[in-house]
Amino acid sequence: MTTDEVKSKLQSLQDDPTMKTVSKYSPTAVEWRGNRLPFVEIHLAYLRAHKLVNPAHYLSNLELMIKKR
């Protein structure tokens, strides 16, 4: 998966009302309002830091974990 495909999938998860997506406070996130990293940026940062993680598997597992039931 390319970075654009991953970003688009994360954005679709964030926009889906049946998914529980939250932003997180980070003192280094000065470019976002309230220093809160958006859901998409949190997971993109994780994938950038962990190069050996398969993005397709990561997104699949993430989708299962954040689904509102």
pLDDT score of 31: 84
DSSP code string of 8-64: HHHHHHHH-TTB----EE-TT-TTSGGGEE-HHHHHHHHHHH-TTS-HHHHHHHHHH
pLDDT in tens, 7-65: 999 999 999 999 999 999 988 887 888 889 999 999 999 999 999 999 999 999 999 99
Tell me the pLDDT band of 1, cut-offs 50, 70 and 90.
confident
